[in-house]
């Protein structure tokens, strides 16, 4: 059984890996990890949102860097 938030984070990232890299379905992941499918789906949604937010932040930073290199002001 999952005991702490660090362990939940590790397992939820592993679930995302299984979905994306190994093509497993949430139901298959649920059976593999012995966790209810609704929990797996929640983990996948949360991890996806977090990864998208990180990518958006990186894009904004790159846009700022490009503007600075061109001598423009970033708005």
The domain spans of the chain are: 5-70
**pTM (2 decimals)?**
0.51
**In this predicted structure, what is the pLDDT of residue 3?**
59
**In this predicted structure, what is the pLDDT of residue 4?**
64
Which residue from 73, 65, 10, 5 is spatially nearest to 18, judged by alpha carbons? 10
Which residue from 48, 47, 42, 46 is spatially nearest to 30, judged by alpha carbons? 42
Write the DSSP assignment of 38-52 as a string of letters: HHHHHHHHHHHHHHH
* Residue ranges in the chain modelled with pLDDT below 70: 1-5, 74-75
Which residue from 9, 10, 29 is spatially nearest to 19, judged by alpha carbons? 29
Residue 45 CB burial class (10 angstroms; 0-12, 13-18, ≥19): exposed
């Amino acid at each position: 059984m999952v005991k702490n938030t660090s362990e939940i984070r590790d397992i939820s990232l592993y679930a995302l890996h299984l979905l994306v890299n190994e093509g497993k379905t949430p139901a298959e992941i649920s059976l593999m990890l012995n966790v209810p499918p609704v929990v797996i789906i929640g983990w996948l949604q949360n991890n996806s949102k977090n990864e998208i937010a990180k990518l958006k932040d990186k894009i904004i930073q790159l846009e700022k860097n490009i503007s600075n290199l061109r001598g423009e002001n970033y708005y």
